[in-house]
Amino acid sequence: MENYFDNKKLIDVVTKWKYHIIIITFLCGVAGAAVSFLVEPKYESIAIVYPANIFPYSKESHTEQILQIFQSDDIKNAVIEKLGLNEHYKIAKTEPRSNAYMDSKWKSSVSIFRTPNDAIKIRVMDVDPKKARDIANCVIEEFDKHTREMQRIKFKEVVDLFDGQRERKLKMLDSLKNEMKKYNEMGIYDVPFQAKELAEAMLKGGNSSQISQLRDAFNEHSADYLVTQTWLEGEALALQDFIEKYDRAYIEYNREFTFASVVSSPDIADRKYSPVRWIYVVLFTIAGFVLTVAALAVLEAINDKKVHSGNE
């Protein structure tokens, strides 16, 4: 029996039992076809998207970032709730392990992965072709909504921070402008130009009370004036740059852009994806042939052993 599965003996078995093998193999093929009709057909809907208008959260690429969002439980739960998939999949929320069953069903029905071209592919399988299309579309819609909310939270923090900083900067500018007004009231408004004019007036022997007052003011406050003027100019430039950043953050906070650029929209499939009936027929036929030959080979080995034992 140990040597009964060599090529010669297998050929002998097939030759001897060929009609039985053909009939059984044929019946297995018929059984495979029958089983394929019992399997619930499923339809496929596919969407392909690229990231758009995404601000980086880390060193990962934009595609890697949106893939994490697409695969998040937040997106899954939002789609399940919005489309009523508990009822569609016949998984009651009151069941003890409904969440686990729904998670398993989601994973077997919805696949979201990165393509070699750095896009995101959303593949949905369902017994209802329209529902498959709706799930794919809903995943994209919920991704946009979820990402928009994330962006708003992020930029709201920036806007709130800028609001506080803007108030402080405006108060600083007001304080510096008041300081400059004091110097202007003393007659100081352009130190380099006035210093030159004052020197020329003094060289010409000018010694009026106005010149004396301006000279005293220059001696005491010209350096402070220059420091305050430089500080004011620096704060004004900083405020201008700050306001530009604030405006950009505020625009990002209020914008309604989409974050997934759809390059291939999901469609309603007009033919089933599975089951592929000929695959069932082929697999059942091969399995029937192999098992039948193996079983007959074993029976022949057992019979041979009994014959040899009887002869002894």
pLDDT, tens digit (0-9, with 9 covering 90-100), for 120-157: 999 999 999 999 999 999 999 999 888 888 877 777 77
Pair of tokens at residue 40:
């619930």
Q: Determine the angle formed by the axes of helices 209-254 and 191-203, rounding to 10 degrees.
A: 170
Output the six-digit token pair for 56.
């980086």
Q: What is the pLDDT of residues 229-268, one digit of tens each?
A: 788 778 778 777 777 777 777 777 777 777 788 888 999 9
> In which region does residue 92 sit, left (phi positive, over 0), alpha (psi from -120 to 50) or beta (all else)?
beta
As to burial, measured by CB atoms within 10 angstroms (0-12 exposed, 13-18 middle, 19+ buried), residue 66 is buried
Query: What pLDDT was estimated at residue 125?
Result: 93
Burial call 133-156: b when 16+ CB within 10 Å, e when fewer: bbbbbbbbbbbbebbbebbeeebe
Asked if 194 contacts 218 with a C-beta cutoff of 8 angstroms, the reply is: yes
Alpha helices (H) in the chain, listed in sequence order: 7-16, 18-38, 62-70, 73-83, 85-88, 98-109, 129-185, 191-203, 209-254, 277-311
Is the predicted pLDDT of residue 21 greater than 80, yes or no?
yes
Residue 312 CA to residue 308 CA, distance in Å, equals 6
| CA 37/CA 172 separation, integer angstroms | 80
β-strand pairing of 120-126 with 43-51: antiparallel
Three-class DSSP category at 163 = helix
Q: What mean pLDDT is predicted for residues 100-104?
A: 92
Q: Which structure tokens are listed for 172?
A: 């600083």
Residue 171 vs residues 235, 236, 245: alpha-carbon distances, Å: 11, 12, 19
Residue 109 binned pLDDT confidence (cut-offs 50, 70, 90): very high
* Per-residue confidence band for 47, with pLDDT thresholds at 50, 70 and 90: very high
Residue type, 279: I
Measured distance CA(77)–CA(291) in Å, rounded: 46
Percentage of the residues of the chain whose pLDDT score is greater than 70: 78
Residue 1 pLDDT exceeds 50: no
Answer yes or no: pTM beyond 0.75: no
